[in-house]
Structure 1
Amino acid sequence: MSSAVLAVDQGTSGTKALVICPERGVIGTGTVPVYPRYGPGDRAEVDPMSLLDSVIAAGRQALAEAGEPVAAVGLANQGETVLAWDPSSGAPLTEAIVWQDRRAESICTELAPYADELAQLTGLPLDPYFAAGKMAWIRRERTREGVVTTSDAWLVHRLTGAFVTDAATAGRTQLLDLDDVTWSARARELFGLGSERMPDVVDSAGPVGTTTAFGATIPLTGLLVDQQAALLAQSVTEPGAAKCTYGTGAFLLAQTGKSPLRTSSGLVSCVAWRLGGRTDYCLDGQVYTVASAVRWLTELGVISGAADLDPIGSGVPDTGGVTFVPALAGLAAPWWRGDVRGSLSGLGLDTSPGHVVRALCEGIAAQITELAAAAAGDLDQPLSVLRVDGGLTRSALLMQTQADLLQIPIEVSALPDATALGVGAVARMGIVPGLTIEQAVPRWEPAAVYEPAISADEAAQRLERFRMHVDRLLDRSSSRPNR
């Protein structure tokens, strides 16, 4: 019997599939792009069928390249992307509303008196980023038919016929009781979702059903939300360790162990994974626009793509007094101000594309430094190292800037596609009884380590300048008349 597994990472801008053999590593890959549509009013949506088609196509590509069967399949998902669909036919009833979408802002405003209660129940601040607000918006504005769920439940149903979601993905909805890891009747009531049929909450590793979507019949044995899958793949399994993924957005997660840690810093407390009925928890902080901010600069013609960050940014010694707060879709943790918009200030006649690129890298790194500081405060211990993955870790300029501002080493993953590797690990755990996380996850080895190259005083000065500009944006936004 084959010991290889098919690991599929269904992400915002595309789907990546790997065939992973425990002895030989990655032996097959497949990649299929996905094209979200962005519209006025901070809308972001995607055709659900394009998500399903990309999963099947990427999986088949990887299997064809591997040229051998697999024992199981694992699926990672976007987390907070939602849609309504018909449970009888599996047909989508709405577009999939992407995690970046802000159209549920009005619903969250209505629920503001219950924000503290919801945070205590679910570990999540009240914000349109999470799935519940989007689900409630679909029910109010689009359709009362079918079921409304996160995208993973629909994908799994289309692949296997099961109606499930894993505990970590359920924890991203703001409908899961953080302590009991069951659907919260009170949270569902507050969002007007009390009568909804909800998927069963299952462990990340274990048999869910079988699928023939990739050819031969294969058991689906691994389910995990994307950032938690990356956390697992980078062996961040002990309290105090942290990882950050630099993708469309950036996501910093810090492990907290077997008990949820209610945070006072603005971070999210959520399920890391549930294995064998035992739940691990983590802290989570988000930056909404990272690679998407690079794409924005590209569309403006400042650069031709992410590969330009280093050659153009390295052409100048500093930002030239330019400060970029890249809150192009609002500020997430620890501020949670989706109404705030980004700023680019300090421009002069001598400002070059290099200055703007350096300011963007510093703005991204400064936001992640704020998240790391908040995590250290909640954990009551400093972070000693940050493990990183994602496409933008290829930028030495961004990684060095991150090390400088954080004042700790940055370890860049030697293994690309950490999310797929993480869900591949839980898929293996789902078919091999007694397999531990340590045995399932490839041994951590960084491809590069960036040490701080500036003093702590200089780092503090640069962070203080960034915070001053963020404070101005917050004040300016708060002083605007309500619309």
Structure 2
Amino acid sequence: MVPQQESFVGSIDQGTTSSRFLIFNKSGEPVASHQIEFKQIYPQPGWHEHDPNEIVQSVEKCIDEAVAQFENQGHSAKSIKAVGITNQRETTVVWDSTTGEPLHNAIVWTDTRSQTLVRKIKQRLGADELQKICGVPLSTYPSVSKLLWLMENVQAVKQCYDKGNLAFGTIDAWLVYKLNGGPKRNIFVSDPSNASRTMFMDLKTLNYSDSLLDFFRLDTSKLKLPKIVQSSDPKAYGTLASTVLSGIAITGCLGDQSAALVGQKGFAPGLAKNTYGTGCFLLMNVGEKPVVSTHGLLTTVAYDFHNMKPNYALEGSIAVAGSSIKFLQNNLEFIESSAQVSQLAETVEDNGGVTFVTAFSGLFAPYWIDDARGTIFGITAYTKKGHIARATLEATCFQTKAILESMGKDSGYDLKELAVDGGMCNSDLTMQTQSDLIGIPVVRPAMRETTALGAAIAAGLAVGVWNSLDDFKDVNSEGKTTFKPKISAEERDGKFAKWEKAVQMCKGWAS
């Protein structure tokens, strides 16, 4: 029999392509999990949507399936003390606050339909000052551009706003609202790591900024925004209204990249992690004061935990990482599964002179080139599939190097090693290439569910499963793999110079 006093924490990990529910023990190990992929909707080139109701249903089903697995192991569902949420950020949902029903599909963070709108807004007086307040530059990426597009282009959204019933939220707010039962209980909250991605929150106060809302000409008497609460809170997020865990409290919430930083134990200034997912996200903890970037990075909230001071991070985001491998698989049919990309890349000794700038929807940090598009340079009669596969993996590693250089300049911290997670980090070749290009060790933990672990940590801290950050010293520290650089600084600089030249040459294709 399992001793009854053992405590577990549940973690909802709502990502761009799938939803998952994991159950962690006190040692930070996942003991049960379930995952469901959901539909990706692409109505036009550059447009990307999700069905908000399907997201909620997928989460509820994952909870039930993972708990069934957990109980089959002899555990009791009652030993799950709390549930945390981590989620894809910037993805925007609008709904009618009276019915709780969405008024349009969710617009996903990768979506670029608001490009023209963003260009117009950039002409407004004061546009250059926004990033100093909210940490995020004006682009198609933050939620505000998606919300404004919906208000301009979707009749139902316009009408709901005029009536004063329009609710806006990122995925965390939508999930908390629906998992609590919708309008009946009306638990409508967001945490600072998610709220900082909207362009509505002042980083210093962690509250909505009147000057930002005025700049975007939003009337808060007509638009309902979620209340910003701490990332770890015993009461603010309510309780699950349905599923087998009905009545269990939701006590933690972190945007996925902040959650991964927490899951990698990035609790001190100068610690950084890179998550190689659909996109790629590099975060460095910069401590208790926000650092506004002057080198093309974003400033975001790392976490804001119960009884602790909030911590901030510098962030560099790469729009295309794992999705470039999906491109080789689905569009070019080079491989049958993502896992085969390393094998294909290893059929050749190097990239054969090929450089692939994977700017499928423009380039994100630190370049911010909206009108760049994917471009392959250096193709000759000698080029094989393996060269293109290798150049695809290298594209993410080069962009990571560019971001790290910016981080060093902005933060003043010299990175000693890079912690990694996410699907692409399973490839030894990619991680070795990464270490070669950044010139420092790359450290891959044995247990890679760091994003879900981060949400579990936030939830568990709120209910005393863990009492302080010191409790995580030994969590997930055994069985790490360290990749050390194997090329000279001269070779590294030469490769990077070639990459930077390719970046300059891929501008302007979408103008």
TM-score bucket of the superposed structures, by smaller chain: over 0.9
Per-residue deviation, residues 413-470 of structure 1 (Å, max 9, x unmatched)? 2112211110001110111188112325724346311111111110110000000010
> Which residue does the alignment assign to 1:49?
53
Match of 2:341 among 309, 312, 321: 309
**Distance of aligned partners of 1:444 and 1:191 in 2 relative to their CA distance in 1, 3 Å threshold:** farther
Counterpart secondary structure, 2:316: strand
> Which residue does the alignment assign to 2:138?
126
Q: CA RMSD in A?
A: 1.6
User: Does structure 2 conserve the Cα–Cα contact (< 8 Å) formed by 1:90 and 1:154?
Assistant: no
User: Does structure 1 conserve the Cα–Cα contact (< 8 Å) formed by 2:306 and 2:461?
Assistant: no
Match of 1:157 among 177, 182, 185: 177
**Distance of aligned partners of 1:307 and 1:435 in 2 relative to their CA distance in 1, 3 Å threshold:** same
Q: CA deviation at 1:151?
A: 1.8
Per-residue deviation, residues 89-117 of structure 1 (Å, max 9, x unmatched)? 32111100000001121221122143321
Q: CA deviation at 1:23?
A: 4.7
Q: CA deviation at 1:382?
A: 2.1
The letter of the residue matching 1:94 is H
> What does 1:144-183 correspond to in 2, within 5 Å?
144=158, 145=160, 146-160=166-180, 161=185, 162-183=187-208
| Whole-Å separation in 1 of the counterparts to 2:476 and 2:337 | 32
User: Does structure 2 conserve the Cα–Cα contact (< 8 Å) formed by 1:426 and 1:440?
Assistant: no
The letter of the residue matching 1:28 is A
Q: CA deviation at 1:341?
A: 0.4
> Which residue does the alignment assign to 2:497?
464
User: Does structure 2 conserve the Cα–Cα contact (< 8 Å) formed by 1:10 and 1:76?
Assistant: yes
| Whole-Å separation in 2 of the counterparts to 1:410 and 1:443 | 16
The letter of the residue matching 2:83 is V
> Which residue does the alignment assign to 1:269?
299
| Whole-Å separation in 2 of the counterparts to 1:397 and 1:370 | 19
Match of 1:12 among 9, 12, 16: 16
> Which residue does the alignment assign to 1:288?
319
Match of 1:447 among 473, 477, 480: 480
| Whole-Å separation in 1 of the counterparts to 2:258 and 2:452 | 11
**Distance of aligned partners of 1:36 and 1:349 in 2 relative to their CA distance in 1, 3 Å threshold:** same
| Whole-Å separation in 1 of the counterparts to 2:377 and 2:274 | 27
Do structure 1's residue 72 and structure 2's residue 82 form an aligned pair? yes
Greater per-residue strand proportion = 1
Match of 1:189 among 207, 211, 214: 214
User: Does structure 1 conserve the Cα–Cα contact (< 8 Å) formed by 2:447 and 2:476?
Assistant: no
Do structure 1's residue 22 and structure 2's residue 55 form an aligned pair? no
**Distance of aligned partners of 1:338 and 1:370 in 2 relative to their CA distance in 1, 3 Å threshold:** same
User: Does structure 2 conserve the Cα–Cα contact (< 8 Å) formed by 1:178 and 1:271?
Assistant: yes
Counterpart secondary structure, 2:458: helix
Match of 1:214 among 234, 243, 264: 243
User: Does structure 2 conserve the Cα–Cα contact (< 8 Å) formed by 1:48 and 1:95?
Assistant: yes
The letter of the residue matching 2:492 is A
**Structure 1 consecutive aligned stretches of length 4 or more whose deviation exceeds 3 Å:** 443-446
User: Which runs of 5 or more structure 2 residues have no equivalent in the other structure?
Assistant: 161-165
> What does 1:32-431 correspond to in 2, within 5 Å?
32-67=36-71, 68-69=76-77, 70-113=80-123, 114-142=126-154, 143-144=157-158, 145=160, 146-160=166-180, 161=185, 162-195=187-220, 196-206=223-233, 207=235, 208-215=237-244, 216-276=246-306, 278-299=309-330, 300-431=332-463
| Whole-Å separation in 2 of the counterparts to 1:276 and 1:371 | 31
| Whole-Å separation in 1 of the counterparts to 2:405 and 2:82 | 39
Greater Cα shift, 332-341 or 435-444: 435-444
User: Does structure 1 conserve the Cα–Cα contact (< 8 Å) formed by 2:91 and 2:170?
Assistant: yes
The letter of the residue matching 2:326 is R
Per-residue deviation, residues 10-45 of structure 1 (Å, max 9, x unmatched)? 000001211111158322111111222124241000
Per-residue deviation, residues 52-87 of structure 1 (Å, max 9, x unmatched)? 011111111111111121111111111100111122
Counterpart secondary structure, 1:211: coil
| Whole-Å separation in 2 of the counterparts to 1:440 and 1:20 | 13
User: Which runs of 5 or more structure 1 residues have no equivalent in the other structure?
Assistant: none
Do structure 1's residue 3 and structure 2's residue 36 form an aligned pair? no
Percent of aligned pairs sharing the same letter: 33
Counterpart secondary structure, 1:283: strand
